[in-house]
Amino acid sequence: MKIKKLLVANRGEISLRILRTAKELGIQTIAVYSDADQGAPYVRFADEAVGIGPSNASQSYLHIEKILEVAKTFKADAIHPGYGFLSENPEFARKIIESGLIFIGPTPEAMALMGNKLAAKKAVSDYGIPLVPGAQTPIQHLENAKMVAEKIGYPILIKASAGGGGKGMRIVHHPSEINEQLERAISEAQSSFGDPSVFIEKLILSPKHIEIQILADHHQNIVHLFERECSIQRRHQKVIEEAPSPFVNAELRAAMGKAAVLVAKACGYQGAGTVEFIVDKDRNFFFLEMNTRLQVEHPVTEMITGVDLVKEQIEIAEGNQLRFTQSDLKINGHALEVRVYAEDPQNNFLPSTGQLKTYITPKGPGIRVDDGYVEGMEIPVYYDPMIAKLIVYAENRSLAIEKMKRAIEEYRIIGVKTTLSFCHWVMKHESFQSGKFTTGFIEDYFKPEMLQDNFSTEELEIAALISTFHLKTQNAGPILQKDQKPKSPWRKNRI
Ligand code: ADP
Ligand code: ADP
Ligand code: MG
């Protein structure tokens, strides 16, 4: 069935990104927004925009009934959940389908299965997918935990079965700590995810996080769109991503791709999804989990394959067959993405709220900025502090790194502290450049004092004032003497 009117149940950059593709496909669009997002670019971009309540997400972006009501009142025939919020909520998907609308994503059953890490492991183990050594059942007692830990050997990781977003994980190095950590893990799992079930995995040392993008239609066709390397992480959360991975050779790529397709088969998957693996230094890979939605880092895959993943999601949801087979897909060039957060990398990445007094994005060939803000806007305190995703594309990895450095240098953000300087530092790091880095990169190498503090907000504000003045006086006529070189206040600040 052709989709005529799409409601995007999300906000910020991802809402805008989805709305853009919908518009290109000739689909009418509806945006929903909370009080905090009234002035956001995505709200203006949509054909219709509907306020759904207070800034607090539980009263707006997480409010299933309100969103369904808007969909009915404004006659949407499909809903795209984006990522985060309700995107992995099977109840939301089920209610959308029960209302006679199309949910852009997998079936609620596949979502529920993969939303539980233990159930997912069980489902894929029948298909011969390698799992991280550990127990495939929930751990209820200390004795049980000790037995499993002894068997697989310390250090171990206690994980919440319903966990996500890097939360709900506890490392245990020594048997003496297991009691306390298990108790904490169980109570955290209950309070954060409403499900006390935890399990144990061996802690893989010096690993890489490598994930495979898949697409599956409603006609049993499944393809993978190669890997993304997401090993630059802070607190188990991705900060910088790239495709392809500098660590993956053709043989490993083929094996992981095949495994990912089998994972999709194991749960009867439909739509776009990501199969996450942890890879050890000997290139053994183990299934971690499947994310049943579009991911934050999906643009790097789009850049190297030329496939618009949102377009494919929509076409699959309409019931169309995939227009390409595995052998049609090729990797072209290299893409990098950095997440630009309103956080202070010199102060333990604490959120830095405030107004984007100056906001100028980098431009030029091979640069893509997926953002949800314009100059003058406030970064709301209610949601994830991500301002933008800066994505670059070039012929090869080293050119992509150079392009990313240039793009970061061109980005101008005044008013809030951002992670740009940190990302710039990563680009210049020998371990990052070698491609051999692991998920321990930040912990192993980063110290806040490594960032030069020559981008203090005050200095940048003065620089902005000077450049405004400079521009004005330039417009009024030349103010430089013949032999005088123009000086950029930005450059001065950086030296
Ligand atoms: P989430 O649902 O929070 O994303 P994941 O299982 O995907 O949970 O794990 C998040 C991150 O934690 C991984 O990307 C990886 O860096 C780390 N991690 C998870 N399991 C292991 C493990 N067994 N050994 C080492 N690191 C792990
Ligand atoms: P470097 O690594 O070049 O010694 P910094 O660590 O201070 O310098 O910053 C790295 C890059 O990040 C700079 O080139 C700059 O363009 C960018 N940057 C840092 N802070 C900001 C900011 N507040 N707004 C815009 N860009 C910034
Ligand atoms: Mg994960």
H or E element that contains 476:
helix 457-476
- Give the model's confidence band at 461: pLDDT under 50 very low, under 70 low, under 90 confident, else very high: low
Distance 482 CA to ligand 1 centre (A): 60
Judge if the upstream peptide bond of residue 244 is cis by omega within 30 degrees of 0. Answer: yes
Tens-digit pLDDT profile for residues 318-358: 999 999 999 999 999 999 999 999 999 999 999 998 999 99
Place of tokens 């990501």: 274
State pTM to two decimals.
0.90
Measured by CA distance, the residue closest to atom 16 of ligand 1 is: 236
8 A C-beta contact, residue 345 and residue 449 = no
Active site residues: 293
Per-residue pLDDT, 232: 98
Distance 277 CA to ligand 1 centre (A): 9
Half-sphere exposure of 324 (CA within 13 A, CB side): 16
Per-residue pLDDT, 452: 75
Mean pLDDT for the stretch of residues 461-487? 56
Residue 488 pLDDT greater than 60, yes or no: no
Mean pLDDT for the stretch of residues 190-209? 96
Q: How many residues does the chain have?
A: 495
On average, the pLDDT of the chain sits at 93
Query: Which protein residues have their CB within 5 A of the ion that is ligand 3?
Result: 276
Q: For residues 111 and 97, what is the distance between their CA atoms, to the nearest angstrom?
A: 14
Instruction: Please give the number of the atom of ligand 2 that sits closest to the Cα of 454.
Output: 7
Residue 493 pLDDT greater than 50, yes or no: no
Pull the structure tokens for residue 362.
Answer: 């980098």
Print burial letters for 78-105: b (CB count within 10 Å at least 16), e (below 16): bbbbbbbbbbbbbebbbbbeeeebbbbb
Q: For residues 357 and 376, what is the distance between their CA atoms, to the nearest angstrom?
A: 5
Per-residue pLDDT, 385: 95
Per-residue pLDDT, 167: 87
Pull the structure tokens for residue 132.
Answer: 């991280």
% of the chain residues with pLDDT over 70: 91
Distance 182 CA to ligand 1 centre (A): 17
Distance of CA 221 to the CA centre of its chain: 26
Q: For residues 260 and 277, what is the distance between their CA atoms, to the nearest angstrom?
A: 9
Per-residue pLDDT, 492: 44
Tens-digit pLDDT profile for residues 219-277: 999 999 999 999 999 999 999 999 999 999 999 999 999 999 999 999 999 999 999 99
Tens-digit pLDDT profile for residues 63-105: 999 999 999 999 999 999 999 999 999 999 999 999 999 999 9
Mean pLDDT for the stretch of residues 363-387? 97
Tens-digit pLDDT profile for residues 101-144: 999 999 999 999 999 999 999 999 999 999 999 988 999 899 99
Residues 6+ apart with CB under 8 A from 38: 51
Q: For residues 268 and 262, what is the distance between their CA atoms, to the nearest angstrom?
A: 10
- Give the model's confidence band at 465: pLDDT under 50 very low, under 70 low, under 90 confident, else very high: low
How far lies 413's CA from each of 159, 212, 267, 334, 380, in Å? 37, 33, 44, 26, 16
Ligand 2, residues at Cβ distance < 6 Å: 408-409, 411-413, 418, 420-421, 424-425, 451-452, 454-455, 460, 494
Stretch among 37-51, 365-379, 450-464 having the lowest mean pLDDT: 450-464
Residue 200 pLDDT greater than 60, yes or no: yes
Own/partner contacts of 323-329, CB < 8 Å, gap of 24 or more, are: 324/223, 325/221, 325/223, 326/223, 326/224, 326/257, 329/223, 329/225, 329/226, 329/305
Residue 20 pLDDT greater than 90, yes or no: yes
* Neighbour tally for 293: CB within 10 Å: 24
